[in-house]
Amino acid sequence: MSNLLEINNIVKNYGDFRALNDVSIHIPKGSVYGLLGPNGAGKTSLIRIINQITMPDSGTIFIDGEPLSPKHTADIGYLPEERGLYKSMKVGEQALYLAQLKGLSKTDAKKRLNYWFEKFDIMAWWGKKIEELSKGMAQKVQFIVTVMHNPKLLIFDEPFSGFDPINAQLIAKEILQLRDEGATIIFSTHRMESVEEMCDEIALIDKSNKILDGKLNEIKRQYRTNTFQVGLHTANPQEVEASLKQNFEVLPPDFKLLGKELTLNVKLKDANSSNELLSFLTSRGQVQHFVELIPSANDIFIEAVNKNS
Amino acid sequence: MSKLKLIIKREFIAKVRNKSFIMMTFLSPLLMVGVGALVFFLMKKNDEKVKKIVFVDNSTLFSIDDFSDTKTIHYEDFTDLGIEETKKKVENGDYYGALIIPKKDSLEILAQSIEFYSKESPGLSIINSLEAKIERKLRNEKLNYFGIDIDKINASKIQSSIKMFNFSGEESSKLINGLKIGVGAIAGYMLMMFVIIYGSSVMRSVIEEKTSRIIEIIVSSVKPFQLMLGKIIGNASAGLLQFFIWGILIFIIFTAASSIFGIDMAEMQTSQLSAEQLEVAKKAAGGDKMQLIIQEILRLPILKMFVLFIFYFLGGYMLYSSLFAAVGAAVDNETDTQQFMLPIMLPLILGVYVGFATVINDPHGSIAVLFSHIPLTSPIVMLMRVPFGVSWHELALSMSLLVVTFVFMVWLAAKIYRVGILMYGKKNTYKDLYKWLKYKG
């Protein structure tokens, strides 16, 4: 799979403050790419550079193989974290205006808007002013104006903030559908559960540096600790625990089971010795629970950021 | 359609559709003309009642012929009634006042001994006109006493009117000088009003985009500079439309009002000229005042004035409104704008005051010349000077200074604007603005 966006060695300073320090990120076509990082890490700076709102001090960006230039604004859809619409402008007029600024002709813009307004069943709002709509309704309009011009690249900065769970789910579904139709999506968020749910790849930015990137599965593999949750039905739990301790590192359990089994977290020396552990356990009793502890995106986030500081 | 055009169109429509804009456009000419007509009507009413003034002349020098009636004053001779009776009658009757002329030995003493009694303090114009009548009569008496023939004195009166030229052969007169002051002052004042009204409208539009948080969506499609320029041009177009409608409405209302109420337009206009200018006018053109004024106006370098008016008007507006846009970008709401407004308002107001104070006295004096070159005041002061004829090299210098400053200021404002529009929730200071200027790209 080729890359839609190649960001190479971007440096950006605001006066004496370095917001981005030699950041390189490659985003594969048709993926949902999570851009993660604590507040003030430099995510928004990077997103603004991709949107050509600000220019980098040095570094290069290629979109679909071409150096990023003003004509590419039509290929990008951007939903900023700080977002809103003209309050006293009518929904339809406003959407048309924003579509035309993205380079659509008026007739094309109307066609696309009709499609989306019908899809979201909001045709009746066309002549209403934004200030007459509820917050959730305005958010739907906001989503439509982000995606209406069928951009190759969609950038969502905290897309779910301010959405109620129902609308958030609707938007998440739409985002995944847009990916399936070929769009590439950059997804910047703090909400780690949505990262697990949606992202194929991630990059983690902290203190102006990229500290981690790659496929989410691979990163998880890197961050695995070879720790297994073990639940065993046995007549003599103390003896089993004592002999486990001779061969493995045994930790207090971080889970609960329904019965009165022996519960432990067991850390292996390497991933290949899981069978060894399992055969030991089966020889001592009835195995009720045997699960590898896979680090969540949240764990990785916290660990990586802590390691960096 | 290009993006700039789209922005201009949106800004124009947003402005023009605004309810307060519509109200302003259609109500203010009505208000202006209404208030003007009211003042005129009240002034007329105020003068309407004929005042009766009586005189008691114990000096026997005066006769009723020396006190000729005017539209608003009627004189009566009460000499036969005596001073005390006259005073009583005036106090109790429907009279405005009584002029008491005593008998004195010399004209000088008499001149200082004349008294005027009235129920309320008399208007200054009435006393002035009485004094003038008395002085004329006593002077004639004195001339008689010296044995000088009054007719010969009258016949010897010669009035001179100096024709003024400059070396390019343009003729000027006192009347046309008055006109030039009027034209220049109106142009300068209009520019100031336009800058303040539509400059702050640009500023409010920037603040609106910031507070509604749409700004980041817009600048992901267009360059901030395009957006700023679109706003400036869009608002100016709405402003020009408003001025245009005002012009038409005022003309229509005046025409309608004058035909309905019978107000003589020519009379109204000439009544605003000073007596001195009127005198020049009367002498020069055999009585027809309006025709003379039109002739004089036609003698002004109208094409040159028009071109320069457009240039300085646009230059001044663009210069200031880009600063207004920068201020709008630097703040989060309108109440925070005050600290940044002073440096914008100061040169504007200074321009108008310096213009009024110096150009009228001496349009080519050193202060007037200086301020018509300083770019922030030059649009106003130069517009005031232009009707008096400004040499091309002075104009070229002033215009190029304005253009250079305009380009520099727009660049400066665009830098502040570009950074400021994306700064939320922080109260910025001049120090912050300075820092923003150093940001790249």
pLDDT of residue B232: 92
Residue A118: count other Cβ atoms within 10 Å of its Cβ. 10
Determine, yes or no, domain membership for A198: yes
Q: Do A101 and B221 touch (CB under 8 A)?
A: yes
**The pair of three-digit structure tokens given for residue B111, joined into one six-digit string:** 């001149």
Determine, yes or no, domain membership for A301: no
Q: Do B14 and A86 touch (CB under 8 A)?
A: yes
Residue B394: count other Cβ atoms within 10 Å of its Cβ. 15
What's the whole-number average pLDDT of chain B?
82
The answer on A175 and A208 residing in a single domain is: yes
Residue A210: count other Cβ atoms within 10 Å of its Cβ. 22
Model confidence pLDDT, tens digit, residues B66-120? 888 877 788 888 888 888 888 888 888 888 889 998 888 888 888 888 989 988 8
Nearest C-alpha of chain B: how many angstroms from A297? 29
Element (H, E) at A233: strand A227-233
Instruction: Show residues of chain B in contact with A146, CB under 8 Å.
Output: 217
Instruction: Show residues of chain A in contact with B440, CB under 8 Å.
Output: 13, 55, 57
Interchain CB contact of B5 with A (< 8 Å): no
Determine, yes or no, domain membership for A197: yes
Interchain CB contact of A180 with B (< 8 Å): no
- Could you say which of A197, A221, A245 is where a domain stops? A221
Determine, yes or no, domain membership for A302: no
Average pLDDT over residues B52-79: 85
- Could you say which of A160, A186, A221 is where a domain stops? A221
Interchain CB contact of A89 with B (< 8 Å): yes
Give the three-class secondary structure for B7.
Answer: helix
Question: Who among A57, A80, A86 is closest to B216 (CB)?
Answer: A80
Q: Which among B195, B436, B203 is positioned nearest to B336, based on CA atoms? A: B203
Nearest C-alpha of chain A: how many angstroms from B429? 16
Q: How far is CA A52 from CA A14, A30, A46, A103, B218, in A?
A: 16, 22, 10, 16, 12
The answer on B365 and B239 residing in a single domain is: yes
Question: Who among B219, B435, B439 is closest to A53 (CB)?
Answer: B219
Average pLDDT over residues B229-253: 88
The answer on A259 and A139 residing in a single domain is: no
We report the CATH number of the domain holding residue B102 as: 3.40.190.10
The answer on A236 and A181 residing in a single domain is: no
- Could you say which of B123, B148, B173 is where a domain stops? B148
The answer on B266 and B121 residing in a single domain is: no
The answer on A190 and A116 residing in a single domain is: yes
DSSP B276: H
The answer on A20 and A49 residing in a single domain is: yes
Question: Who among B217, B219, B438 is closest to A15 (CB)?
Answer: B438
Q: Do B220 and A52 touch (CB under 8 A)?
A: yes
Determine, yes or no, domain membership for B329: yes
Determine, yes or no, domain membership for A127: yes
- Report the residue of chain B nearest A99, measured CA to CA: B221
Query: Distance between CA B167 and CA B219 in Å, rounded?
Result: 55
The answer on A161 and A36 residing in a single domain is: yes
The answer on A128 and A74 residing in a single domain is: yes
The answer on A65 and A52 residing in a single domain is: yes
- Could you say which of A169, A201, A221 is where a domain stops? A221
We report the CATH number of the domain holding residue A152 as: 3.40.50.300
Model confidence pLDDT, tens digit, residues B394-412? 899 999 999 999 889 888 8
Which residue segment(s) compose the domain that A25 sits in?
A: 3-221
Residue A13 CB-half CA count within 13 A: 10
pLDDT of residue A39: 85
For residue A273, is it left (φ>0), alpha (ψ between -120 and 50) or beta? alpha
Query: Distance between CA B188 and CA B194 in Å, rounded?
Result: 10
Instruction: Show residues of chain A in contact with B227, CB under 8 Å.
Output: none
Does the structure show a pLDDT above 70 at B169?
no
Query: Distance between CA B437 and CA B411 in Å, rounded?
Result: 10
Question: Who among B14, B214, B220 is closest to A53 (CB)?
Answer: B220
Q: Do A56 and B438 touch (CB under 8 A)?
A: no
Q: What is the pTM of this model?
A: 0.76
Interchain CB contact of B68 with A (< 8 Å): no
Q: Do A98 and B222 touch (CB under 8 A)?
A: no
Q: What's CA A183's distance to the chain center, in Å?
A: 15
Determine, yes or no, domain membership for A155: yes
Q: How many domains does chain B have?
A: 2
Confidence of residue B29 (pLDDT cuts 50, 70, 90): confident
Which residue segment(s) compose the domain that B64 sits in?
A: 50-148
Q: How many domains does chain A have?
A: 2
A58, β-bridge pairs: A11
Determine, yes or no, domain membership for B124: yes
Model confidence pLDDT, tens digit, residues B148-157? 888 888 888 8
The answer on A122 and A7 residing in a single domain is: yes
Q: Do B213 and A86 touch (CB under 8 A)?
A: no
Nearest C-alpha of chain A: how many angstroms from B319? 24
Residue whose tokens read 């004349």: B114
The answer on A216 and A134 residing in a single domain is: yes
The answer on B131 and B261 residing in a single domain is: no
Model confidence pLDDT, tens digit, residues B33-44? 788 778 888 877
**The pair of three-digit structure tokens given for residue A173, joined into one six-digit string:** 């579904």
Q: Do B3 and A101 touch (CB under 8 A)?
A: yes
Determine, yes or no, domain membership for B380: yes
Q: Do B220 and A54 touch (CB under 8 A)?
A: no
Chains A, B: CB pairs < 8 Å: 69
The answer on B134 and B205 residing in a single domain is: no
pLDDT of residue B274: 47
- Could you say which of B103, B131, B148 is where a domain stops? B148
Average pLDDT over residues B207-214: 89
Does the structure show a pLDDT above 70 at B296?
no
The answer on A247 and A203 residing in a single domain is: no
- Report the residue of chain B nearest A51, measured CA to CA: B220
Q: What's CA B166's distance to the chain center, in Å?
A: 26
- Report the residue of chain A nearest B211, measured CA to CA: A84
- Could you say which of B101, B133, B148 is where a domain stops? B148
pLDDT tens for chain A, residues 1 to 309: 589 999 999 999 988 889 999 999 999 999 999 999 888 889 999 999 999 998 899 999 999 999 999 999 999 999 998 888 998 899 999 999 999 999 999 999 999 999 999 998 899 999 999 989 888 888 889 999 999 999 999 999 988 887 888 888 888 999 999 999 999 999 998 778 888 888 999 999 998 999 889 998 888 888 888 888 889 888 888 888 888 888 888 888 888 887 777 888 888 877 667 888 888 888 888 898 898 888 888 888 888 888 887
Determine, yes or no, domain membership for B41: no
The answer on B240 and B142 residing in a single domain is: no
Q: Do A70 and B223 touch (CB under 8 A)?
A: yes
The answer on B190 and B81 residing in a single domain is: no
Task: Answer yes or no: are the C-beta atoms of B16 and B241 closer than 8 Å.
Answer: yes
Q: Do B440 and A13 touch (CB under 8 A)?
A: yes
Q: Do B220 and A76 touch (CB under 8 A)?
A: yes
Nearest C-alpha of chain A: how many angstroms from B341? 25
Question: Who among A15, A70, A85 is closest to B439 (CB)?
Answer: A15
Task: Answer yes or no: are the C-beta atoms of B220 and A76 closer than 8 Å.
Answer: yes
Does the structure show a pLDDT above 50 at B308?
yes
Q: Which among B50, B45, B52, B47 is positioned nearest to B93, based on CA atoms? A: B52
Does the structure show a pLDDT above 70 at B418?
yes
Determine, yes or no, domain membership for A299: no
Determine, yes or no, domain membership for B392: yes
Question: Who among A55, A57, A82 is closest to B424 (CB)?
Answer: A82
CA R_g for chain A: 25
- Report the residue of chain A nearest B440, measured CA to CA: A57
The answer on B369 and B242 residing in a single domain is: yes
The answer on A106 and A48 residing in a single domain is: yes
pLDDT of residue A97: 95
- Report the residue of chain B nearest A52, measured CA to CA: B220
Query: Distance between CA A304 and CA A204 in Å, rounded?
Result: 8
Determine, yes or no, domain membership for A97: yes
Query: Distance between CA A242 and CA A80 in Å, rounded?
Result: 56
Question: Who among B14, B208, B222 is closest to A101 (CB)?
Answer: B222
Determine, yes or no, domain membership for B11: no
We report the CATH number of the domain holding residue A243 as: 3.30.70
Instruction: Show residues of chain A in contact with B20, CB under 8 Å.
Output: none
